[in-house]
C-alpha cells in the first residue's frame, strides 16, 4: 500500500490489524533510512532493503497476506514480489485537512512540511498512480476501504493462489 501523507495508510493498517491481518507500517520501527539519491541529487527516505527483503521472503515462505505500507523512492524495487500495489488516494484539500487535524503523526504540521506535501503530491503521486495495480479513494467510509483491501488479499492467514 502506498499513497501520499494524509491518505489514511496508518489508519487503514490499524483497522486491518484488528481484523487479524499481518501489517507493517514502514514509517515506524526502523524500516526507513535517509540515503543519497542516485546521481547525488539529494537525500530521500528509502526502505532498508535488507530488512524489507527478509520480511517479504519470510511471507513468501509462510504464506498468508501481508499489508506493507510506505511511500519511499526505492519501493518499486520490490513491486515484482507483491501481488498488488495499492494506491490510497484523496484530493489534496482532504489530505491537508487530515494532516492538520491528526494527533498520531506530527509530519505535515510545519509550513515547510505542508509545502512538501503539496509539491510531492504534484510530483510523486502521478508516479505512484502509474505503477499501482489498484487505486482506492479514501474519501469512502473507512470500512469500505478496508473491505476492499481485504477482498484483494483474502482471509487473514490464508494464502491465495
Query: What CA–CA distances, in Å, run from 88 to 70, 102, 136?
Result: 11, 17, 5
The reported pTM is: 0.91
- pLDDT at position 161: 47
Report the relative pairing of strands 43-47 and 134-137 from DSSP bridges.
Answer: unpaired
Question: Running along the chain, 161 residues long, what does each successive block of 10 average in pLDDT?
Answer: 96 96 95 85 90 94 91 95 97 95 84 91 96 98 98 78 47
Q: Which residue has the cell 547525488?
A: 40
- pLDDT at position 107: 83
Amino acid at each position: 500500500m502506498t499513497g501520499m501523507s494524509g491518505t489514511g495508510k496508518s489508519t487503514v493498517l490499524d483497522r486491518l490489524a484488528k481484523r487479524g491481518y499481518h501489517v507493517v507500517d514502514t514509517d515506524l520501527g526502523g524500516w526507513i533510512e535517509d540515503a543519497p539519491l542516485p546521481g547525488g541529487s539529494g537525500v530521500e527516505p528509502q526502505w532498508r532493503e535488507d530488512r524489507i527483503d527478509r520480511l517479504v521472503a519470510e511471507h513468501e515462505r509462510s504464506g498468508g497476506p501481508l499489508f506493507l505500507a510506505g511511500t519511499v523512492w526505492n519501493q518499486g524495487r520490490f513491486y515484482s514480489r507483491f501481488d498488488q500495489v495499492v494506491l490510497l488516494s484523496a484530493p489534496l484539500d482532504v489530505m491537508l485537512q487530515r494532516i492538520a487535524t491528526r494527533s498520531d503523526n506530527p509530519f505535515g504540521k510545519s509550513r515547510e512540511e505542508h509545502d512538501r506535501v503539496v509539491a510531492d503530491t504534484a510530483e510523486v503521486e502521478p508516479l505512484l498512480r502509474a505503477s499501482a495495480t489498484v487505486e482506492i479513494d479514501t474519501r469512502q467510509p473507512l470500512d469500505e476501504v478496508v473491505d476492499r483491501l481485504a477482498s484483494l488479499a483474502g482471509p487473514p492467514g490464508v494464502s491465495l493462489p
